[in-house]
């Protein structure tokens, strides 16, 4: 029944993509290897066919994922590992592309972002989480997000990552998901038979790009998850459970937020509300609001003003000590395969997941 109701909202998804396209910044040549900024590319499949570039994709669960309703790639959440270039500094980020829980902007808000971080010595992971457009209402995407963080933390030694320097990065709906992961984490079960489940899912820092904080709302004057997926009758219950601004505590990690005043998809008041909630909880937070700019700009997408925000992020990361390798950690390890002067990275080890 839920699947039918969600499917009936797909027409609204098409309208949504029209809105996003209308707001899209002026085109520029795609990044090397980019497939464009479509919101519904083929979903990721586990394997290591591009391991020579230091990139591998693995399933988040070896068997069927919790709540899975099928066995297509849309039912199988994955994590894609981008090894650091020129040697790692011990930090890692887990990236959640946006797409209104109807698709994934896997290049603009995934691969391009991962490359930016790896160029600064940060190991980057891009998550293909399950989507509501394919029948997976919240909290299923949150289950995938938690598992991704736990997976990286459980494998930190193998990946040459400091388990206390693992952050989340999210854009738009991925920003909502990253904020949920920051406020609704699990501590891990020390008695679990699965070693991944023993790890905490709490991120150590968060980077949110134009996050869709107010996704769960009955207000249809702007983009609403409830209207988009035809679950307006459940909206109050969903908001009470999955609105990150309601769950901020002093344990929420330090957060960096990027937004624009003229975003017509996610009103700036949503990010401001989250910023205020962080301040009131005593959480370290830095927010940069640009006067002009549409929704969905990724790292700036060639806009002379918006292209400056990654530099502000880099300054913040340095101030947090996340771009400097601890002196006691020894020489860099896990250099990405194919990087000048480097050697193949540690990878995820073992055969590709099936």
Report the pLDDT value the prediction gives residue 42, as an integer from 0 to 100: 53
Structure tokens at 91: 């930090």
Residue 270 lies in a domain: yes
- In CATH, what number is assigned to the domain containing residue 220? 3.40.50.1820
Give tens-digit pLDDT for 187-199: 999 999 999 999 9
Phi, psi (rounded to 5 degrees) for 58: -130, 155
Number of folded domains in the chain? 1
Structure tokens at 13: 């998804």
Q: Does the structure show a pLDDT above 70 at 179?
A: yes
Is residue 347 very low, low, confident or very high in pLDDT (cuts 50, 70, 90)? very low
Residue 351 lies in a domain: no
Residue 345 lies in a domain: no
Q: Does the structure show a pLDDT above 90 at 162?
A: yes
| C-beta neighbour count of 4 within 10 angstroms | 9
Q: Are 90 and 152 in contact (CB under 8 A)?
A: no
Q: Are 76 and 200 in contact (CB under 8 A)?
A: no
Report the pLDDT value the prediction gives residue 313, as an integer from 0 to 100: 98
| C-beta neighbour count of 17 within 10 angstroms | 17
Q: Does the structure show a pLDDT above 90 at 9?
A: no
Asked which of 35-49, 103-117, 296-310 is least confident by mean pLDDT, the reply is: 35-49
The region that residue 239 occupies, defined by phi over 0 for left and psi between -120 and 50 for alpha, beta otherwise, is alpha
Please give the order of strands across the beta sheet that includes 166-171. Answer: 55-59, 78-82, 123-128, 92-96, 166-171, 205-209, 255-260, 285-290
**How far is the CA of 292 from the CAs of 264, 287, 299, in angstroms?**
11, 15, 15
Is residue 49 very low, low, confident or very high in pLDDT (cuts 50, 70, 90)? low
**What value does the mean pLDDT take over residues 97-109?**
97
Residue 55 lies in a domain: yes
Q: What is the DSSP string of 248-265?
A: --TTSPPEEEEEETT-SS
Q: What's the mean per-residue pLDDT of the chain? A: 85
Q: Which domain holds residue 48?
A: 2-329
Residue 264 lies in a domain: yes
Residue 196 lies in a domain: yes
Residue 336 lies in a domain: no
């Amino acid at each position: 029944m839920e699947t039918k109701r969600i499917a009936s909202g797909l027409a609204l998804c098409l309208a949504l993509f029209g809105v996003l396209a209308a707001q899209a910044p002026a085109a520029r040549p795609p990044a090397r290897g980019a497939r464009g900024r479509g919101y519904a590319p083929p979903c990721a499949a586990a394997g290591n066919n591009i391991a020579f570039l230091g990139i591998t994709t693995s399933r988040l669960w070896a068997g069927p994922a919790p709540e899975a309703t099928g066995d297509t790639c849309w039912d199988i959440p994955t994590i894609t590992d981008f090894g650091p270039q020129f040697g790692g500094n011990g930090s890692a980020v887990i990236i959640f592309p946006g797409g209104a829980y109807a698709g994934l902007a896997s290049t603009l808000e995934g691969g391009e972002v991962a490359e930016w971080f790896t160029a600064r010595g940060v190991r980057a992971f891009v998550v293909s989480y399950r989507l509501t457009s394919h029948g997976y209402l919240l909290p299923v995407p949150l289950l995938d997000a938690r598992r991704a963080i736990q997976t990286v933390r459980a494998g930190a030694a193998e990946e040459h990552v400091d388990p206390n320097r693992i952050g989340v990065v999210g854009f738009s709906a991925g920003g909502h998901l990253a904020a949920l992961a920051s406020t609704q984490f699990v501590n891990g079960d020390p008695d679990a038979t699965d070693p991944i489940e023993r790890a905490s899912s709490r991120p150590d820092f968060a980077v949110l790009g134009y996050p869709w904080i107010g996704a769960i709302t009955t207000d249809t004057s702007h983009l609403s998850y409830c209207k988009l997926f035809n679950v307006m009758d459940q909206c109050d219950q969903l908001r009470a459970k999955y609105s990150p601004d309601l769950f901020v505590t002093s344990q929420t990690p330090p957060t960096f937020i990027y937004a624009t005043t003229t975003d017509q998809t996610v009103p700036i008041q949503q990010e401001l509300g989250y910023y205020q909630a962080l301040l009131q909880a005593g959480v370290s937070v830095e927010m940069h609001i640009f006067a002009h700019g549409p929704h969905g700009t990724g790292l700036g997408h060639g806009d002379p003003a918006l292209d400056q925000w990654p530099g502000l992020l880099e300054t913040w990361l340095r101030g947090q000590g996340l771009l400097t390798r601890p002196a006691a950690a020894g020489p860099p390890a896990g250099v990405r395969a194919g990087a000048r002067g480097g050697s193949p990275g540690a990878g995820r080890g073992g055969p590709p997941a099936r």
